Structure 1
Amino acid sequence: MKPSGFKALLSLLLWLENPAVAMAVPVEGTFSAGRDCPAYVSKNKLTNPDGARVTAGKAYPVIEADRRWDARWYRLRLPSANPPERWVGRDCGRLQPGAAAEPAAERCDVAGQADAYVLALSWEPAFCELKPDKPECRLADPVAYSARHFSLHGLWPNKSGCGTDYGFCGEVKQPRRDFCDYPPITLDPVRKASLAEVMPGTASCLERHEWHKHGTCQTAMSSDAYFALAADLTRQFNGSGIADFVADRIGRTVRTEEFLARLDAALGRGARDRIGLNCEHGMLVEIRVNLPSELKPGASLGSLLPLAGKSSGSNCGSRFRLDSMGRQFLSRIETGG
C-alpha cells in the first residue's frame, strides 16, 4: 500500500474507533468573529509568533475543524498573517457552513470598506404622517426642535456596489423586528440628551438600529464620536439657513427649484447636485446628503460637499408640500377635509 493510502486508512480507523481524537477534517464556510481573539499557528502549543488576531465583525474563510462534530477549533485563512493558516477557538464567533467565503471586496457586511457617506435627514412632521404610531409621533409638539428643523435619521457609510445595503458589519447580522430589540449602546449622558433633540427617533431606539446597521461599518469612531459627528452635521445643515427657509413655508407647497436654489445659496454652489430629495404623497419626507469617505469632527458641511459624489436626484417632481407637525394632512385629504 502507498504511504498516502496508509495514512488515509489510519485516519479513518482512528476516527471510527474514537471520533474525539480524529484528525482535522476539511470544512467549507465562513467564520464570523464575534470578538477579537488570537489566531494560533498551533492550537496545541498556542503559538502566535506575529500576534495575529481575528477582528470582531469580520468574516474569514474556514479551512478545517479539529473534529467532525462538536468542533472546538477552526482553522481559518488570514491573508495578513504569516503563515496565513491559523487556528481560532469556537467561542470567538460562529461558523456559517456552506461554500467558501466570498472575498471581502465582494461582501456588503465587512467593516472598514466605505468609500462614501450619506447623511439622511427626515422632515419629522411628514414622517409622523406616515408612521403616526411611532412613540416619537404620539405627542407631536408643534414648538419642538423637530417641528421646525430637519431631524437626524442616520449617518451611513456606503460602499460602491452595495449602496445603502452596506450594513450590519458587527456582531448583529440581521435587522430586528423592533429597534429596542437591538443590544443597547453606550453613550455619554450629555451626548445622549443632545442626540435626542436632533434625533427624536431615540424614543423608538432608532440610535440602536442606526449603530448596529450602519455605525458598525466604519472603524474610525466610537459610538459616542459617531453620533456626535452625525448630530453636528445635522445642526450645520439646519443652521446654514435651510431651517429658516422651511420654517417660513411650513404648511405650504414649495417649488422644488426654489428649494434647490436655496441649498446652493446656503451650502455652496453645486450643493444641489449632491443632495437628493425624497417625497411621498406630495410631501417632502427625507433629504439625503452625499458626503466623502473621510469625515473629521469639526469639518464644515460646506467644505465636505464638493468632495462627495453626485446624488441620484429627487422624486419630488416640480413641487412638494412642507407638512406641519400634528396637522394630519393625509387624513384631511382622505376625508375630504
Structure 2
Amino acid sequence: MLLIAAKGILEDHMRLLLRVIVGAALVSVASVLPAVSQVKLDGFFLAEEACPAFQSFRKQTNPGNVYVERMHAYELLGKNKAEASHYFIRMNGVSPAERWVEISCGLHLVEAEGGGQSSGDGSGGSGSAEVVRPAVQGPSADAEFLLAASWQPAFCQTHQDTAECASQVSGRFDANHFALHGLWPQPRGNFWCGVTHEEKRLAENRSTWGELPALELDEATREELDKVMPGTQSYLHRYEWVKHGTCYSDSAEEYFSESLDLMGQLNGSAVRDLFAANIGEVLTTAQVRAAFDDAFGAGAGNRVEVRCRGGLITELFINLKGKIEPDTPMRDLLLAAKPVQSDCQGRVDPVGFN
C-alpha cells in the first residue's frame, strides 16, 4: 500500500512538473512572436486626417512621433478585431514600418470591379462610393520635395536599349541640358497615393509602363514634356505620375507643368552653363555647388546632391521646400530646404556609347 501511495504521489508531481514546463514554453514562445493584427485585410488605408501611427495603440507608443498624412494611402495589413478600433498599416521610410491608426482617421479602400477602388468593410470612414483616385491637397509652405534632374548621356550608358537612348543624338535638347527624371514629394516612401492594385502592378515593371492610363495634358505641356523628359518615349511620365505625382496633386497637368517650370529655371541657369561648357571634362561637387550658389543664392548648393556612377555624373538630387506654384522661384525653394551630404566627382558625358 505504501508503494502504491508513493507511486501516486510521484505521478502527481510529474503531471504538475509537466504543466509547469509546458506553460513556461508557451510563455517563451509568446514573448518572441511579433504582434499581429487579429483580422487580415487587403487594400489600402486612405488617411482623411493627420493621426498618430502607433507601434502599440494599447500603450500609445509612437517611436519617432510618426503621423499619417492627410489624403495619403498606405498599404493595409489588417485590423485589431472584427468590431475594430484600429487598422494595421505599413508605412515606408519609418521604423518600425508596421503601425496602428484609429479607424476613425480614414477609409479602407479595396479594388473594385473595373479597376477602381471602393470603401471596404464599413467599419471605418463614411460612404461606399467608388474612389478611382483620392483628391490630394495642394503642397503647403512646409512641404518638402526632391527634384531629380538627369544628365541623360550618362544615364544612357547603362540603358542603351531604351527608346530614348537609342534615339539620342548630339543635336537633341537632352544632349546638353538636364532632363526631368521626376519631382518627388518627401519624405521617402511618400508615393502610390490612392492608386489601384492594377496601376501599381503595371508601374512596377518597366515593360508594362505603356499599359498605364494615358495622362490628360495640355498640348503645350505635352510637347515641352517630350523635350525635357525624353523618357516619355518609354512612358516614364506615366510611371512618375502613378508613383509620385499622385502624392503631389490630383491633376497630372499641374504636376508636370510645375515640374517643367522648375526644370526651365535649372536649364536657364549657370548650372546648366557649367555642364554644357565642360562636356567630356570632370567636374567636382564643389564646382557644381558653386554654380548653384551663383545662380540661386549663397547656400543653395548645399541643398544639392551630385550623384556619380562609373566615373560619370549621372544626376542631381535637388532638395526643395515650400509651396510650389507656377513661377515659384527655385531660389526660395532651395534656400528653405535641408542641406544634404555630397562628395563625388565625375565626367560630364557626351552623347554616344563608350
The separation in 2 between residues aligned to 1:240 and 1:33, in whole angstroms, is 42
The separation in 2 between residues aligned to 1:88 and 1:64, in whole angstroms, is 17
TM-score calculated relative to the size of structure 1? 0.65
**1:173/1:250 CA distance change after superposition, 3 Å:** same
1:1-337 equivalences under 5 Å are 27-29=39-41, 31-32=43-44, 79=104, 93=117, 115-159=143-187, 163=188, 165-171=189-195, 172-174=199-201, 175-178=203-206, 179-219=209-249, 221-314=250-343, 316=344, 319-326=345-352, 328=353, 331=354
C-alpha deviations, 1:288-314, integer Å up to 9, x for none? 110115222210101111111122324
**1:88/1:130 CA distance change after superposition, 3 Å:** closer
Deviation for aligned residue 1:222: 1.0
- The answer for unaligned runs of 5 or more in structure 2 is 1-37, 49-70, 84-101, 125-134
**1:119/1:30 CA distance change after superposition, 3 Å:** same
Amino acid at match of 1:79: S
Structure showing greater radius of gyration is 2
Deviation for aligned residue 1:184: 2.1
CA contact (8 A) 1:255 1:320 kept: yes
Say which SS state the counterpart of residue 266 (structure 2) adopts.
helix
Say which SS state the counterpart of residue 132 (structure 1) adopts.
coil
Say which SS state the counterpart of residue 79 (structure 1) adopts.
helix
Aligned residues: CA RMSD: 3.7
Deviation for aligned residue 1:90: 6.3
- The answer for unaligned runs of 5 or more in structure 1 is 1-25, 37-54, 66-76, 101-109, 332-337
TM-score calculated relative to the size of structure 2? 0.62
Deviation for aligned residue 1:128: 0.7
**1:124/1:90 CA distance change after superposition, 3 Å:** closer
CA contact (8 A) 1:176 1:182 kept: no
1:105 corresponds to: none
